[in-house]
């Protein structure tokens, strides 16, 4: 593509900016502040939190944070922007991951408190991994106590490229203490005083800051000179570089991921927002750069979310890249089948506006494209490579059913839609317990999902902790006779078997064999005996499936008229039932291996949380490539995992998470087993 072409396109194309960072950092407030500062919103706070094409606002308000991806549009000085406001809490973050992946730039919103810097690690890591250009906005500067320097020192190890401080704070002291009341822009060398409810006022650089300003600016220029030889020469010659040079370098640092600019302000006060918008206007790469990053070479559409929430029906949200697309255009998907793009809409919060065509870079919603799922490319030419999104592990699980039986069909319909909207959810039917299980990232995520089902589809869902996959096995071998005889006039039933039951090593499951001589049990009835044995194993003496046993059929007797498959099956079941009871049965519980990660300041509390759950520590150490984070490996019985996720979340600002998978079955102590069996009996009484 010729350079002029690229530049022209990038001048008009919508810039998609993703707001990412920890829960409660102020992303939604920042989005509103940007809309307000650009004139797209009459009054700050009027969109409410978490308005989206879905109907998340009620949800978000109840929760006090966003639960769904939220899209907004505004123009700033003639440049169209689209905002992707991502929920910060890990339970809901997966919702926006695909939209972030196709953004031109991300703003990582962080808290000024250096102690909270590790909360930004997941966002920074994801952006670095995917090569998404980004900058950092330090929000809540109105409440800042520590120094920006200290914050940058805490953030730097979490970032792959150097952080570039773009501003230094002006502080004033009043009755309530020292406060940030404005900033000096290091690139422009201009000072601004924040004004309540108004744009900041240009002021002289306070004399007591002159020295600090000079040294910080020198540092900024030196950082830029690392990637700009002619700037380096200018600095060596003691020449003052032109502002245009500095801004061009800053833009390149951002778009090529050479450096991460750090700006600060306050979303709720509207401070530093214009400065941020100007930085976006000059420095955010446009759609052409993003096409290059994602390998888009022809007009294409990437779907990042399916939404059933609005009144239009099924909508697919996505971005146009590589050229304009009109309503009704024909594109091709991975299977090369043509897909006709239906009605196009632009999305603003929970409102949609019909479009005849969508320009390169536009963030839009498409109706009537039934086959299209989220995370897929459609293109007029070759398909761009798939975008890899890391799915968070599903650590929470609930057994669910409609509170009212007659809502069965309604519930399956609701689940199908909700699962399509949120790929981090999964549904499973457990074979053993026949439970319908809803799996999600964490408890909060599942609770949010059930609330959504109720509000949107009017289905009340009953839920409980899923049953644990306990098993039974035996300690000693037993020989047992089983006899089934019924003589009730006419045709009788007759079958007698003798079996040997013996324990097997853990994990060997079940083996059945026979040593019948002299036709004591006729050949054709032997499979029926095995079936009877299996019947008895489905529910051992303690009420759970039996594993790791061998059964050998050694003897028996039959009757030429009254014997039948059914009679021998029954005899096999009776023999096995009695054998199990006599073979010193014991209880086994599933043990999971968990791999837990958390910020280091939460490690000791996370360790005791695992130990308190009959956990067995396997290892602990720093998390690879994550400064300030640790990893803990442990074995924990499945029955003890209930509530672990919530406990970890509360002790780590929502950042600790774990992956669990089945490791082995372990014997349950006699005391524990008795408690369990009794509580189960009470439940079933
Ligand atoms: N003092 C102060 N409070 C702020 C500022 N920005 C946001 N807040 C408050 O911080 C809280 C959280 O802000 P949100 O915008 O909902 O945070 P978020 O990042 O969208 O959070 P999630 O959606 O949960 O990820 C709100 O109560 C805001 O009023 C700020 O600049 N100064
Ligand atoms: Mg939010």
Question: In this structure, which residue's CA is closest to atom 15 in ligand 1?
Answer: 26
* Residue 683 CB contacts under 8 Å (≥ 6 apart), including other chains: none
Which has more confidence, 42 or 275?
Answer: 275
Single out the residue of 266, 277, 279 nearest to residue 34, CA to CA.
277
Cα–Cα distance measured from residue 97 to residue 68, given in angstroms and rounded to the nearest whole number: 11
Q: Is 44 in the pocket of ligand 1 (CB under 6 A)?
A: no
Cα–Cα distance measured from residue 94 to residue 122, given in angstroms and rounded to the nearest whole number: 12
Task: Tell me the CA–centroid distance for residue 318 and ligand 1, in Å.
Answer: 26
Evaluate if residue 4 carries a pLDDT over 50.
no
Query: What are the backbone angles phi and psi of residue 501, rounded to the nearest 5°?
Result: -110, 130
Cα–Cα distance measured from residue 217 to residue 209, given in angstroms and rounded to the nearest whole number: 12
Task: Tell me the CA–centroid distance for residue 102 and ligand 2, in Å.
Answer: 19
User: Counting ligands in written order, which one lies closest to the CA of residue 70?
Assistant: 2
In this prediction, residues 515-528 reach a mean pLDDT of: 94
Question: In this structure, which residue's CA is closest to atom 1 in ligand 1?
Answer: 140
Counting ligand 1 atoms within 8 A of each CB, the residue from 20, 26, 59 with the most, and so the one to mutate, is: 26
CB-based burial, 185-214: b 16+ in 10 Å, e otherwise: bbbbeebbebeeeeebeeeebbeebeeebe
Question: In this structure, which residue's CA is closest to atom 8 in ligand 1?
Answer: 26
Q: What is the pLDDT of residue 293?
A: 95
Question: In this structure, which residue's CA is closest to atom 2 in ligand 1?
Answer: 140
Using a CB cutoff of 5 Å, list residues around ligand 2, an ion.
27-28, 66
Task: Tell me the CA–centroid distance for residue 31 and ligand 1, in Å.
Answer: 10
**Other CB atoms within 10 Å distance of the CB of residue 247:** 16
Which has more confidence, 442 or 91?
Answer: 442
Q: What is the pLDDT of residue 683?
A: 74
Q: Is 255 in the pocket of ligand 1 (CB under 6 A)?
A: no
User: Counting ligands in written order, which one lies closest to the CA of residue 22?
Assistant: 1
Cα–Cα distance measured from residue 109 to residue 101, given in angstroms and rounded to the nearest whole number: 17
Q: What is the pLDDT of residue 44?
A: 67
Cα–Cα distance measured from residue 264 to residue 141, given in angstroms and rounded to the nearest whole number: 7
Q: What is the largest CA-CA distance in the chain?
A: 117
Cα–Cα distance measured from residue 458 to residue 463, given in angstroms and rounded to the nearest whole number: 16
Strand order in the sheet with 15-20: 70-76, 79-85, 15-20, 105-110, 134-138, 260-264, 163-165
Cα–Cα distance measured from residue 584 to residue 108, given in angstroms and rounded to the nearest whole number: 60
Q: Is 24 in the pocket of ligand 1 (CB under 6 A)?
A: yes
Counting ligand 1 atoms within 8 A of each CB, the residue from 113, 141, 183, 267 with the most, and so the one to mutate, is: 267
Single out the residue of 81, 159, 86 nearest to residue 117, CA to CA.
159
Q: Is 23 in the pocket of ligand 1 (CB under 6 A)?
A: yes
The residue behind tokens 């690690």 is 121
Evaluate if residue 162 carries a pLDDT over 80.
yes
Mean pLDDT of the chain: 89
Interval 283-305: pLDDT, tens: 999 999 999 999 999 999 999 99
Beta strands in 458-561 (DSSP E): 461-464, 471-474, 478-486, 493-503, 510-514, 549-557
Q: How far is CA 215 from the centre of its chain?
A: 42
Cα–Cα distance measured from residue 461 to residue 43, given in angstroms and rounded to the nearest whole number: 38
Q: Which two tokens stand for residue 133?
A: 């250009």
Q: Which two tokens stand for residue 477?
A: 């071998």
In this prediction, residues 366-385 reach a mean pLDDT of: 89
Q: What is the dihedral of CA 154, 155, 158, 161, to 10 degrees?
A: -130
Interval 300-355: pLDDT, tens: 999 999 988 767 788 899 999 999 888 888 899 888 888 888 889 888 767 788 88
Beta strands in 241-392 (DSSP E): 260-264, 300-307, 315-321, 325-326, 330-332, 338-340, 344-348, 351-355, 357-358, 363-367, 376-379
Question: In this structure, which residue's CA is closest to atom 12 in ligand 1?
Answer: 24
Question: In this structure, which residue's CA is closest to atom 14 in ligand 1?
Answer: 26
Cα–Cα distance measured from residue 629 to residue 120, given in angstroms and rounded to the nearest whole number: 12
In this prediction, residues 576-580 reach a mean pLDDT of: 97
Q: Is 217 in the pocket of ligand 1 (CB under 6 A)?
A: no
Q: What is the pLDDT of residue 401?
A: 94
Beta strands in 162-272 (DSSP E): 163-165, 167-174, 177-185, 190-195, 198-203, 260-264
Atom of ligand 1 nearest to the CA of 60: 23
* Residue 387 CB contacts under 8 Å (≥ 6 apart), including other chains: 98, 101, 102, 294, 302, 375
Cα–Cα distance measured from residue 48 to residue 681, given in angstroms and rounded to the nearest whole number: 50
Q: Is 139 in the pocket of ligand 1 (CB under 6 A)?
A: yes
Task: Tell me the CA–centroid distance for residue 49 and ligand 2, in Å.
Answer: 7
Instruction: Specify whether the CB–CB gap between 157 and 627 falls below 8 A.
Output: yes
Q: Is 161 in the pocket of ligand 1 (CB under 6 A)?
A: no
Atom of ligand 1 nearest to the CA of 141: 31
Q: Is 379 in the pocket of ligand 1 (CB under 6 A)?
A: no
Evaluate if residue 62 carries a pLDDT over 70.
no
Question: In this structure, which residue's CA is closest to atom 30 in ligand 1?
Answer: 140
Sign of CA dihedral 7, 13, 14, 16: negative
Distances in whole angstroms, Cα of residue 181 to Cα of each of 266, 344, 581:
11, 45, 78
Counting ligand 1 atoms within 8 A of each CB, the residue from 29, 96, 264, 653 with the most, and so the one to mutate, is: 29
Cα–Cα distance measured from residue 116 to residue 588, given in angstroms and rounded to the nearest whole number: 43
Cα–Cα distance measured from residue 627 to residue 260, given in angstroms and rounded to the nearest whole number: 17
Name the pTM for this structure: 0.84
Q: Is 268 in the pocket of ligand 1 (CB under 6 A)?
A: yes
β-bridge pairing 70-76 and 134-138: unpaired
**Burial status of residue 619 (CB atoms within 10 A of its CB: 0-12, 13-18, 19 or more):** exposed
Question: In this structure, which residue's CA is closest to atom 29 in ligand 1?
Answer: 268
In this prediction, residues 527-554 reach a mean pLDDT of: 95
Task: Tell me the CA–centroid distance for residue 261 and ligand 1, in Å.
Answer: 21
Cα–Cα distance measured from residue 214 to residue 630, given in angstroms and rounded to the nearest whole number: 39
The H or E element containing residue 184 is strand 177-185
Q: Is 26 in the pocket of ligand 1 (CB under 6 A)?
A: yes
Q: Is 623 in the pocket of ligand 1 (CB under 6 A)?
A: no
Instruction: Specify whether the CB–CB gap between 162 and 152 falls below 8 A.
Output: no
Distances in whole angstroms, Cα of residue 236 to Cα of each of 164, 300, 434:
20, 47, 75
Evaluate if residue 549 carries a pLDDT over 50.
yes
Task: Tell me the CA–centroid distance for residue 65 and ligand 1, in Å.
Answer: 8
Interval 108-142: pLDDT, tens: 999 999 988 988 988 999 999 999 999 999 999 99
In this prediction, residues 361-373 reach a mean pLDDT of: 87
**Burial status of residue 391 (CB atoms within 10 A of its CB: 0-12, 13-18, 19 or more):** exposed
Instruction: Specify whether the CB–CB gap between 59 and 451 falls below 8 A.
Output: yes
DSSP string for 361-397: T-EEEEES-TTPPTTEEEESSSPPPPPP-PPPP--EE
Q: What is the pLDDT of residue 79?
A: 92
Q: Is 87 in the pocket of ligand 1 (CB under 6 A)?
A: yes
Q: Is 88 in the pocket of ligand 1 (CB under 6 A)?
A: yes
* Residue 177 CB contacts under 8 Å (≥ 6 apart), including other chains: none
Residue 488: DSSP 8-state: -
Atom of ligand 1 nearest to the CA of 266: 31
Query: What are the backbone angles phi and psi of residue 349, rounded to the nearest 5°?
Result: 60, -125
Residue ranges in 120-199 assigned as alpha helix (H): 121-130, 148-155
Q: Is 49 in the pocket of ligand 1 (CB under 6 A)?
A: yes
Question: In this structure, which residue's CA is closest to atom 28 in ligand 1?
Answer: 26
Cα–Cα distance measured from residue 34 to residue 73, given in angstroms and rounded to the nearest whole number: 10
Q: What is the dihedral of CA 358, 360, 365, 369, to 10 degrees?
A: 90
Q: What is the pLDDT of residue 7?
A: 38
Q: Is 143 in the pocket of ligand 1 (CB under 6 A)?
A: yes
Q: What is the pLDDT of residue 173?
A: 87
Atom of ligand 1 nearest to the CA of 63: 24
Q: What is the pLDDT of residue 53?
A: 42
Cα–Cα distance measured from residue 503 to residue 511, given in angstroms and rounded to the nearest whole number: 10
Rg over alpha carbons for the chain, rounded to the nearest Å, is 32
Task: Tell me the CA–centroid distance for residue 646 and ligand 2, in Å.
Answer: 20
Interval 450-474: pLDDT, tens: 998 999 899 999 999 898 889 999 9
Cα–Cα distance measured from residue 104 to residue 126, given in angstroms and rounded to the nearest whole number: 14
Q: Is 140 in the pocket of ligand 1 (CB under 6 A)?
A: yes
Q: Is 38 in the pocket of ligand 1 (CB under 6 A)?
A: no
Q: Which two tokens stand for residue 202?
A: 């240009």
Evaluate if residue 650 carries a pLDDT over 90.
no
Task: Tell me the CA–centroid distance for residue 322 and ligand 2, in Å.
Answer: 30
In this prediction, residues 144-168 reach a mean pLDDT of: 92
Cα–Cα distance measured from residue 18 to residue 562, given in angstroms and rounded to the nearest whole number: 77
């Amino acid at each position: 593509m010729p350079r002029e072409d690229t530049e022209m396109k990038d001048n008009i194309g919508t810039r998609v900016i993703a707001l990412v960072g920890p829960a409660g950092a102020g992303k939604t407030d920042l989005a509103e502040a940007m809309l307000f500062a650009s004139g797209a919103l009459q009054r700050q706070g009027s969109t409410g939190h978490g308005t989206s094409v879905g109907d998340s606002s009620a949800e978000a308000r109840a929760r006090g944070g966003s639960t769904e991806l939220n899209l907004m549009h505004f123009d700033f000085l003639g440049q169209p922007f689209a905002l992707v406001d991502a929920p910060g809490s890990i339970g809901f973050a997966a919702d926006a991951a695909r939209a972030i992946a196709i953004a031109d730039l991300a703003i990582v919103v962080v808290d000024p408190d250096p102690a909270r810097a590790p909360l930004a690690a997941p966002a920074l890591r994801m952006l670095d991994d995917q090569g998404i250009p980004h900058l950092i906005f330090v929000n809540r500067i109105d409440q800042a106590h520590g120094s920006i320097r200290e914050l940058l020192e805490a953030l730097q190890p979490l970032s792959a490229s150097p952080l570039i401080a773009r501003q230094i704070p002006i502080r004033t002291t009043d009755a309530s203490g020292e406060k940030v009341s404005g900033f000096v822009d290091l690139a422009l060398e201009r000072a601004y005083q924040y004004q309540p409810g108004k744009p900041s006022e240009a002021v002289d650089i306070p004399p007591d800051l002159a020295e600090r300003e000079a040294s910080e600016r020198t540092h900024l220029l030196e950082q830029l000179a690392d990637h700009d030889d002619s700037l380096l020469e200018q600095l060596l010659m003691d020449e003052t570089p032109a502002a245009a040079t500095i801004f061009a370098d800053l833009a390149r640092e951002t778009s090529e991921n050479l450096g991460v600019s750090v700006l600060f302000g306050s979303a709720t006060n509207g401070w530093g927002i214009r400065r941020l918008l100007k930085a976006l206007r000059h420095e955010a790469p446009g759609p052409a750069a993003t096409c290059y990053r994602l390998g888009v070479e022809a007009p294409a559409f990437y779907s990042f979310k399916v939404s059933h929430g609005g009144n239009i029906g099924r909508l697919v949200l996505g971005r146009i890249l590589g050229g304009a697309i009109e309503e009704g255009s024909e594109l091709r998907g991975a299977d090369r089948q043509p897909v006709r793009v239906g009605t196009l809409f632009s999305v603003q919060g929970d409102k949609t506006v019909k479009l005849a065509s969508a320009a390169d870079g536009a963030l839009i919603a498409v109706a009537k494209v039934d086959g299209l799922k989220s995370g897929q490319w459609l293109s007029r030419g070759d398909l761009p490579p798939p975008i890899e999104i890391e799915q968070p592990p599903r650590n929470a699980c609930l057994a669910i059913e409609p509170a009212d039986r007659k809502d069965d069909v309604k519930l399956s319909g609701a689940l199908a839609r909700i699962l399509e909207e949120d790929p981090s959810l999964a549904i499973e039917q457990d074979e053993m317990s026949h439970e319908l299980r809803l799996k999600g990232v964490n408890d909060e995520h599942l609770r949010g999902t059930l609330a959504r089902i109720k509000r949107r589809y009017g289905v009340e869902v009953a839920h409980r902790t899923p049953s644990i996959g306990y098993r039974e096995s035996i300690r000693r071998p037993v020989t047992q006779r089983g006899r089934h005889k019924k003589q009730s006039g006419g045709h009788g039933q007759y079958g007698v078997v003798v079996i040997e039951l013996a324990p097997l090593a853990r994990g060997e499951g079940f083996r059945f064999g026979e040593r019948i001589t002299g036709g004591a049990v006729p050949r054709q009835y032997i499979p029926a005996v095995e079936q009877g044995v299996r019947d008895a194993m489905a529910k051992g003496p303690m009420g759970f499936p039996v594993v790791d046993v061998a059964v050998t059929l050694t003897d028996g007797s039959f009757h030429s008229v009254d014997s039948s498959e059914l009679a021998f099956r029954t005899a096999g079941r009776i023999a096995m039932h009695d054998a199990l009871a006599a073979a010193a049965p014991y209880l086994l519980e599933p043990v999971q291996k968990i791999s837990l990660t958390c910020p280091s300041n939460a490690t000791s509390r996370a360790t005791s949380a695992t130990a308190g759950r009959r956990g067995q520590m396997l290892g602990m150490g720093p998390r690879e490539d994550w400064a300030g984070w640790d990893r803990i490996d442990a074995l924990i019985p499945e029955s003890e995992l209930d509530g672990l996720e919530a406990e970890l979340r509360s002790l780590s600002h929502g950042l600790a998470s774990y992956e669990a998978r089945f490791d082995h079955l372990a014997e349950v102590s006699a005391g524990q087993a008795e408690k369990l069996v009794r509580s189960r009996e009470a439940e079933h009484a």
